[in-house]
Structure 1
Amino acid sequence: MENKSKRVLIACDSSATLLGFRGKLIAELVKSNEVHVFTPKICCDATADQLKAMQVIVHENALNGSNVAVFSDLKYIYQLFQLIRTIKPDIFFPYTFKPVIYGTVIAKLCKVNRITPMLTGLGYNFAPQAAKRSFISHITGHLLKWSLLYSERQHIIFQNQDDYHTLLKGGIISKRHKAFIVNGSGVDLSNYKYSIPNTRYISFLMISRLINAKGVKEFYEAAKLVQQKFPEIKFKLLGPYDNNIDAIDQELYALIRSGEVLEYLGQVDDVRPHIKAASILVLPSYYGEGVPRCMLEGMAMGRAIITCDSVGCRETINPSAKQPNGFLIPVKNITALASKMEHYIHHTKDILIYGVNGRKFAKEKFDVNLVNAAMLKIMQLN
């Protein structure tokens, strides 16, 4: 490989996010840097081929990012330690919890010059409902505090103001820490192109992993209420049912798969045809998002949205009353969700107007090129 100016190591907990969430950033990094990624096994040949074509050097592991797995985590820590000692990166960029918690500590021990951990949302461990998991939440908080201990070489990246203030209030970080806030992961407006939504045959689409805190049950119950009045309206759910501590129960999963209320689409490689076919995007999440990517994709394609007044989600609603792009509803409020769905059914022009406004808002705030420029500045690579 030709001599590049800096050696960058990226660590993640899912290979699926490398190109979908970080593809444009990686493309910018490889222009003048040697880029390595430390990722769970890449099962998609197209992803592996594209990373190879970009001259990204891939190092695979067996990390389980969703659940506690002591022996697997210890093996991951050892492998990452050995990798950092071997390649000696100038910049270490971990994102999501386990790579941030384990990787940031290891990078400090190995004296990496620039460490830029990115918190892509705090998840349910820092949400009010996390009382049910108080032990796990307590441990996670201590591990994060230990990992993010102040260092002159460390620049912490957040995707929203709420997460920064949560960690500040919780004593996990202090005002002394070097912290930066970017507008989510951004969205590639050239890849997610505007299309006119169908207002004659209205359909609502939710894109999410099937976990409780994403609001899957709320979407199902609200759809059931609306269908009692408007049986012709379609409701679709797209996303995987995976092995997660907060996965929906088997009873709800069976109801979803029955197709009586929702059309379940499962997991797909490309969400764009499904967004194009939808009239409105819905995400009643109280998970503790960074900024939900599916909402940005929907906005970019000109779709009106409904989401919760919760961390990360509220970032996707334009605060300007002159350019509304959707509705915020209270967390876990099925009645409010159904009411906003009915608003679009009764006011089909708003589907069009809010969709155009959403595209404009995405361009102004969430354009991936703007976000990546901010990221490169934080990494001191521009």
Structure 2
Amino acid sequence: MKTDKANQTIVFVSNDIDNFRHHRKHLVDVAVEMDKNVIVMAGGNGTPPANCYHKKIEINRFRLHWSDFNIIFSIIKSILYYRPEILHLINLKPYLYGGVAAQVAKLLGWRGNLVVSVPGLGRLYDTQNLTAAKKMRLRVVELVLRACLRDATICFETSSDRDFWIERRLTVIDRTELTNGTGIDLEQFHPPEKRHSDRRLKVLYAGRLLKAKGLDVFLAAAKTCGMENVDMIVAGQTEADPDGVSENTLREHPEVLFLGRVDDMPRLLGQADVVVLPSRYNEGVPRILIEAAACGCVTVATDFPGSRALIKEGVTGFFLQRSTKESQANEIVSIIEKLSKNPTMIKVIGNNAIEHIRKEGFASDAVKSAFHRIYSQ
């Protein structure tokens, strides 16, 4: 790390270093291209991206606790020690506590800039399970965000999320930026020269093994599908999340092939025909859907703003309605039956999806250019 350029440093704060490396490596690339020092404050024990220093902090994503004050103190100390030109906060707890830390650091003389990435509204705004306690917690969180992010540049993946924040008076439009998700390398994610020819339809769920992501819906669809020429595949890593689905639970579903963690996603997507994401909360633009579309897969996802950026009904994929687990599972089975009888439809929709991804700015270069401009400002 270039210790002689402390004022040309970007400090990132994120929940998990593995997630940061997978979804935000392009931000490190931009910072390095701009000749910045890069420090990533994140939880987890994974491997950080190249060209950055990983400063580990403990972040429990699933509850608010008095011990979280340690996160605020750690960020304050890092700001005052490194004096970063930019503090870039990603995920809810980082921009909640990082926002508080930034305001304290400014009182102590820091004059850097604050950038926030909002990957989606997340489970905080899961209106289906909004109890009185959650409503109160939501009010407190929004109060803190209004106070601490008033001078931040807020980056959104969808105009819907941006408008929602503006309506809730969490920011103003002049302080917002729009980017097309996290961006992918189209040299890496591309359609295979030749897909499998065994006439079996391969349907994939790939991502965090969470019920809120719709894994329970996918498992219900697999249980009721009962088609001999269809392979239902799950890829992902178990994690310590109260909403998580365990490997033991997945093993209780013999109709599903569970692969566990998969590092070579381009190869896996090159073997898949359909990728399903029945998420129950409002995400940004899901990376797995971008990757799947770029590889020529038919994408099937719950109808939310992030999926609308990628899916045109019947043209580049299919929507699932926000409804019960059973009805969504039945929708998935109906789509699978339709596609299994019409291989030509799979090819046409896949080609449409590839064209959409390449034309609409989902490549990593386009997203990197956007953040180069943001950091330069």
TM-score (structure 2 length as normaliser): 0.88
Counterpart Cα distance in 1 of 2:60 and 2:217: 28
Query: Residues 3-82 of structure 1 correspond to what in structure 2 (within 5 A)?
Result: 6-31=8-33, 32-41=35-44, 43-44=45-46, 47-48=47-48, 50-51=49-50, 54=51, 56-65=52-61, 67-68=62-63, 70-82=65-77
How has the CA–CA distance of structure 1 residues 361 and 176 changed in structure 2, closer, same or farther, with 3 Å as cutoff? closer
| Residue of 155, 158, 171 corresponding to 2:156 | 158
- State the shift of 1:350 in Å: 1.7
Q: Summarize the alignment of residues 322-361 of structure 1 with structure 2, pairs less than 5 Å apart.
A: 324-332=315-323, 333-361=328-356
1:102 equivalenced with 2:134 (yes/no) = no
* Partner in structure 2 of residue 263 of structure 1: 257
Provide the residue aligned with 2:359 in structure 1.
364
Change in Cα spacing, 1:138 to 1:166, as seen in structure 2 (3 Å) is farther
Distance 1:314 1:153, change over 3 A: same
Quote the RMSD (CA, aligned, Å). 2.3
Q: Where does the alignment leave 5 or more consecutive residues of structure 2 unmatched?
A: none
2:181 is matched with which residue?
184
- Structure 1 residue 240 and structure 2 residue 250: aligned? no
Distance 1:258 1:187, change over 3 A: same
Please, which moves more after superposition, 308-317 or 232-241? 308-317
Report the CA distance between 1:176 and its aligned residue: 5.7
- Counterpart contact for 1:325–1:358, Cα < 8 Å: yes
Cα shift at 1:156: 0.8
CA distance in 1, matches of 2:41, 2:333: 43
SS across alignment from 1:30? helix
Q: Deviations over 1:155-210 (max 9, x none)?
A: 111111222222233x2425466112211111111221321433622110001222
Partner AA of 1:273 in structure 2: R
Q: How many residues align?
A: 363
Letter in 2 for 1:179: T
Q: Distance in 1 between matches of 2:329 and 2:253?
A: 20
Q: In 2 relative to 1, CA 328–103 (structure 1 residues): closer, same or farther, beyond 3 Å?
A: same
Tell me what 1:226 maps to.
Answer: 225
CA distance in 2: counterparts of 1:191 and 1:2, whole angstroms: 34
Conservation of the 8 A alpha-carbon contact between 1:145 and 1:172: no
Q: Which amino acid aligns with 1:136?
A: K
1:160-309 correspondence runs (5 A): 160-169=158-167, 171-175=168-172, 178-195=175-192, 196-198=194-196, 200-227=199-226, 230-248=227-245, 254-309=248-303
TM-score if structure 1 supplies the norm length? Answer: 0.87
CA contact (8 A) 2:339 2:345 kept: yes
